[in-house]
Structure 1
Amino acid sequence: MAALAWLLIPLVAAVGAGLWAMWANRTRRTGDGPELAGYEKFRAAMEKQGAGLPAPEEPAESA
């Protein structure tokens, strides 16, 4: 019975290593997706909001 327990240790380790390898090799999602679209909406709103404001004045140069 003790020999069987010693054989189960490498078997459990091999199964664990296989599961970890499958998780490490998973297909990851790439691309910007909805985050980029939200940023574009935010930028457009900020540009639209700033259109009615006067331009900042340049500081006068001291001669």
Structure 2
Amino acid sequence: MVNLLISQLRSLTWGWEVGMAALAWLLIPLVAAIFAGLWGSWANRTRKARSDGPELDGYARFRAAMEKDRTPTHSGS
């Protein structure tokens, strides 16, 4: 009778360890999802309204440089 109680106690302990291991593996993605949500909300926070002026000015200079007529570097025949 005592042997039967000890074996049941062992299976109860083993089940608890398995349950805690499963809980730990489930908590990892949960914590990662919470962290990703917090980071996403921080990255998408509203900032001061800013025009695209500097970026568009740089692009306009780039286009102007690309559209310039190239002068030949040497006289070819």
In the superposition, the TM-score normalised over structure 1's length comes to 0.49
In the superposition, the TM-score normalised over structure 2's length comes to 0.42
* Higher relative helix content: 2
Answer with 1 or 2: which has the greater Rg: 2
